[in-house]
């Protein structure tokens, strides 16, 4: 549809023909018009009109463009961009470009540019109810276009995960809908709990993962119910209640409670809202709604216990409810599991011997576990118990629920939450994902997930600022802006933008221009290695131990290497800041004259903003070797002088004796001369 493909690589460079030099264009042609917000088109995200500065280049686009602003801690889905860009698609809101531009807050933000929807959302945000859609309208103008889109997405391996009433649009009644993008935030990030299957709804909203196309079918089913009835299903209920009701009664029963829909729509919704994603119709089947409707869900109702089990504040009657309760009440759950109360309830009350035996085995393994600390062992036990009781459940780790591919967005969304970061770190450290995958042998990409779990743990184990959670955050989220406080509002996503942002934001009061977040960002994005420098920077500088100016030198090396990636070569503010920190590094030269000459050269390079020049002045191994040799020679000379002075002082008496003897010998010589002269005169008369 569009001649221009996605090109994130060219976005940050200003276009040579742009009208406003200060304007940062996305992909060199799209300007975000912050004065024209499009509040009804963003699907819950900020959205602005876009002005195309190069309209002649773009052809075939019939609608105006808009830019959806990406949240600073909710990275977009670059894999989806790539998949969509490379596919021939009949999708009228396919993203055109994405990149960095000025935001309304005064700084910068990441934007996804796509065509504006053909009309308003099918369910405006403020609406309590709408006029119900007819059955024909639903089947022809909602289900069929949705089936077509989801089938195309499924073919390129992408899920939409943003099918909700405020993200589906149409120009007017009687026209097919258009689906807004789900690419400018993590999968299902903005989905209400009612529009997600219970196993996804119970996840942290950033950790829901890509899921499967069946999850989009589920959301489409809920949307269909809402439009068919004119009322929002499960409206006014909090997420926890929504999830519990869906687990207790089944999704279809819970969602249709109090709604009036036709039998045909109800039948179709029943299969689309099947608890097991494998039981939901494929998008290709949905293209023929009558055939999909005829499909019967063969799932049996879950066995219900005759007596409840209390888990913390919750009472449960069946296995999936028990799994959800264990996941949400981790402390009480571990106590119950380790006391074998859960296994006893499963065996005696629910009569599920298989699950009871599995839980007993897990508890025994936990009791025998000595290689990891008790808290992590309890976490593994809880995760195993939940996965055993509900194979559809996400990975539940000490009160956090997420799918393995949601770890990256979780690390971004909860970066400021130290407690959550601690739990995620423990989960990664014990490779809980690999254990979870082992409990799901039919998982489609088990080997990849195991490898990912191992790589995440290895990254976490890297010492210093090169590893840890910060690096993992950026490794797993290629479009996550750097979260360093120093770069607040700069939206640095690409490594090439980092140095310019640092140049703009560096302040005189900043102690270090490279902090843990920046180090993690660079480690994740930079192809070379800066581990040694980040190890130095991770240490608190101790003047008694560390060489002078070591931190400053490390910072200088880091920014110089980053500068090699840039066209611009002068960084005066950075250079001025680093000059202060790196100047003590001159003390590594022992010669005062060398220090003074190099200081002059360093200051000159700093004033010119030449980082490589500064590094050349400070980091000169050959010069240092010569200086050391000269210092050693000088020290030897000083020692020789000291010896000579000491000798001269000690030889005072000896010199006095020599002087006296010499004087006396001279006197004697005079005497001999006088005597000879006297004899000669006497003999001659």
Partner 1 sequence: MASKPVAPRNPGAANISTWLQGVACGVLFIVATPTAVLGVLLLMPTLLSFVADREQGRAVTRAVVLFGFAGSCAPFVSLWHTAHGMEDVWLLITDIRTLAIAWSAQALGWLLAQILPFFIGLIGEAKIRMEIARLQKRRDALAEEWSSAD
Residues that bind partner 1 (CB under 8 A): 587, 590-593, 595, 631, 634-635, 637-638, 641-642, 644-645, 648, 655-656, 658-668, 670-672, 674-675, 677-679, 681-683
Query: Whole-angstrom Cα distance, residue 329 to residue 326?
Result: 5
Q: CB of 633: closest distance to partner 1 in angstroms? A: 10
Query: Whole-angstrom Cα distance, residue 204 to residue 467?
Result: 25
CB-CB neighbours of 388 under 10 Å: 21
Contact 193, 242 (CB under 8 A): yes
CB closer to partner 1, 488 vs 638: 638
Q: CB of 644: closest distance to partner 1 in angstroms? A: 6
CB closer to partner 1, 565 vs 638: 638
* 3-state secondary structure at position 34: strand
Nearest to 425 by CA among 472, 363, 384, 476: 472
CB closer to partner 1, 340 vs 591: 591
Please state the φ and ψ torsions of residue 160, each to the nearest 5 degrees.
-85, -60
For residues 465, 470, 473 and 474, what is the CA-based torsion angle, rounded to 10 degrees?
-50
Q: CB of 542: closest distance to partner 1 in angstroms? A: 18
Q: CB of 572: closest distance to partner 1 in angstroms? A: 25
Please state the φ and ψ torsions of residue 569, each to the nearest 5 degrees.
-120, -5
* 3-state secondary structure at position 200: helix
Q: Give the angle subtended at the CA of 267 by the CAs of 266 and 270, to the nearest 5°.
A: 85
CB closer to partner 1, 445 vs 651: 651
Strands 309-311 and 314-316: antiparallel
CB closer to partner 1, 20 vs 597: 597
CB closer to partner 1, 353 vs 587: 587
Q: CB of 681: closest distance to partner 1 in angstroms? A: 7
Side-chain half-sphere of 448: how many Cα atoms within 13 Å?
A: 5
Q: CB of 614: closest distance to partner 1 in angstroms? A: 18
DSSP string, 216-255: HHHHHHHHHHHHHHTB-TTTT--HHHHHHHHHHH-HHHHH
Q: CB of 621: closest distance to partner 1 in angstroms? A: 20
Q: CB of 549: closest distance to partner 1 in angstroms? A: 13
CB closer to partner 1, 157 vs 640: 640
Q: CB of 546: closest distance to partner 1 in angstroms? A: 15
Residue 396 region, left (φ>0) first, then alpha (ψ -120 to 50), else beta? Answer: beta
Contact 537, 554 (CB under 8 A): yes
Query: Whole-angstrom Cα distance, residue 84 to residue 78?
Result: 10
Query: Which structure tokens are listed for 606?
Result: 């700093």
Query: Which structure tokens are listed for 84?
Result: 């969509």
Strand runs (DSSP E) across 362-497, as ranges?
395-397, 400-402
Query: Which structure tokens are listed for 527?
Result: 């192809």
Nearest to 139 by CA among 264, 272, 251, 259: 264
Q: Which residues of 564-599 are buried (b: 16+ CB within 10 A; e: fewer)?
A: eebeeeebebbbebbbebbbbbbebbebeebbeebe
CB closer to partner 1, 425 vs 546: 546
Q: CB of 511: closest distance to partner 1 in angstroms? A: 22
Query: Whole-angstrom Cα distance, residue 593 to residue 580?
Result: 20
Q: CB of 579: closest distance to partner 1 in angstroms? A: 15
CB closer to partner 1, 131 vs 657: 657
- To which H or E segment does residue 496 belong? helix 495-505
CB closer to partner 1, 304 vs 587: 587
* 3-state secondary structure at position 547: coil
Strands 65-69 and 47-52: antiparallel
Q: CB of 590: closest distance to partner 1 in angstroms? A: 5
Q: CB of 609: closest distance to partner 1 in angstroms? A: 25
Angstrom CA distances, 624 to 121, 513, 587, 597, stand at: 69, 27, 11, 14
Q: CB of 610: closest distance to partner 1 in angstroms? A: 23
Strands 47-52 and 400-402: unpaired
CB closer to partner 1, 425 vs 599: 599
* 3-state secondary structure at position 482: coil
């Amino acid at each position: 549809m569009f001649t221009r493909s996605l090109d994130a690589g060219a976005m940050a460079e200003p276009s040579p023909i742009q009208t406003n030099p200060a304007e940062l264009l996305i992909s060199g042609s799209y300007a975000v018009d912050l004065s024209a917000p499009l509040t009804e088109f963003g699907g819950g995200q900020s959205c602005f009109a876009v002005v195309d500065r190069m309209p002649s280049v773009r052809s075939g686009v019939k609608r105006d463009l808009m830019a959806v602003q990406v949240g600073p801690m909710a990275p977009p889905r670059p894999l989806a961009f790539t998949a969509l860009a490379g596919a021939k698609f009949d999708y009228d809101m396919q993203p055109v470009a994405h990149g960095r531009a000025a935001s309304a807050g005064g700084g910068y933000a990441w934007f996804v540019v796509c065509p504006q929807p053909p009309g308003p959302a099918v369910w405006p945000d403020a609406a309590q109810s709408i006029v119900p859609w007819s059955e024909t309208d639903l089947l022809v103008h909602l289900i069929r276009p949705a089936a077509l889109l989801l089938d195309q997405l499924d073919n390129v391996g992408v899920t939409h995960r943003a099918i909700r009433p405020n993200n589906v649009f149409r120009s007017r009644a009687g026209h097919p809908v258009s689906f807004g993008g789900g690419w400018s935030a993590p999968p299902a990030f903005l989905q209400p709990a009612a529009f997600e299957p219970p196993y996804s709804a119970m996840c942290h909203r950033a950790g829901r993962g890509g899921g499967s196309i069946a999850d989009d079918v589920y959301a489409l089913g809920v949307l269909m119910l809402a439009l068919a009835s004119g009322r929002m299903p499960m409206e006014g209920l909090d997420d926890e209640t929504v999830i519990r009701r869906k687990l207790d009664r089944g999704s279809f029963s819970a969602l249709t409670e109090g709604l009036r829909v036709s039998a045909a729509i109800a039948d179709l919704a029943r299969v689309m809202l099947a608890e097991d994603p494998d039981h939901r119709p494929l998008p290709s089947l949905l293209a023929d709604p009558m055939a999909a409707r005829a499909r019967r869900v063969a799932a049996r109702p879950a066995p219900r216990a005759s007596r409840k089990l209390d888990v913390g504040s919750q009472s449960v009657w069946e296995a999936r409810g028990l799994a959800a309760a264990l996941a949400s009440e981790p402390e009480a759950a571990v106590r119950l599991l380790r006391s074998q109360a859960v296994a006893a309830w499963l065996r005696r009350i629910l009569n599920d011997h298989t699950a009871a035996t599995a839980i007993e085995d897990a508890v025994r393994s936990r009791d025998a576990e000595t290689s990891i600390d008790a808290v992590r062992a309890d976490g593994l036990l809880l995760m195993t118990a939940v996965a055993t009781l509900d194979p559809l459940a996400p990975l539940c780790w000490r009160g956090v629920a997420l799918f393995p591919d949601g770890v990256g967005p979780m690390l971004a969304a909860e970066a400021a939450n130290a407690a959550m970061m601690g739990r995620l770190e423990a989960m990664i450290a014990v490779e809980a994902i690999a254990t979870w995958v082992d409990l799901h042998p039919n998982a489609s990409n088990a080997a990849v997930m195991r490898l990912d779990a191992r790589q995440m743990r290895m990254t976490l184990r890297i010492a210093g600022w090169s590893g840890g959670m910060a690096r993992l955050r950026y490794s797993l989220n290629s479009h996550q802006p750097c979260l360093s406080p120093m770069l607040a509002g700069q939206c640095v996503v690409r490594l090439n933008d980092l140095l310019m942002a640092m140049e703009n934001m560096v302040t005189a009061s900043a102690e270090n221009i490279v902090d843990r977040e920046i180090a993690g960002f660079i480690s994740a994005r930079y192809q070379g290695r800066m581990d040694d420098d980040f190890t130095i920077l991770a240490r608190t500088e101790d003047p008694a131990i560390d060489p002078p100016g070591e931190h400053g030198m490390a910072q200088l090396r880091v920014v110089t290497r980053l500068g090699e990636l840039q066209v611009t070569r002068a960084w005066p503010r950075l250079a001025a800041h680093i000059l202060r920190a790196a100047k003590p590094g001159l003390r590594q030269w022992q010669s005062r004259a060398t220090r003074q000459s190099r200081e002059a050269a360093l200051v000159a390079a700093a004033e010119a903003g030449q980082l490589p020049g500064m590094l050349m002045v400070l980091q000169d191994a050959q010069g240092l070797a010569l200086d050391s040799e000269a210092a050693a020679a000088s020290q030897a000379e000083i020692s020789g002088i000291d010896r000579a002075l000491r000798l001269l002082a000690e030889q005072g008496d000896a010199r006095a004796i020599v002087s006296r003897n010499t004087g006396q010998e001279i006197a004697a010589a005079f005497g001999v001369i006088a005597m000879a002269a006297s004899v000669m005169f006497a003999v001659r008369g």
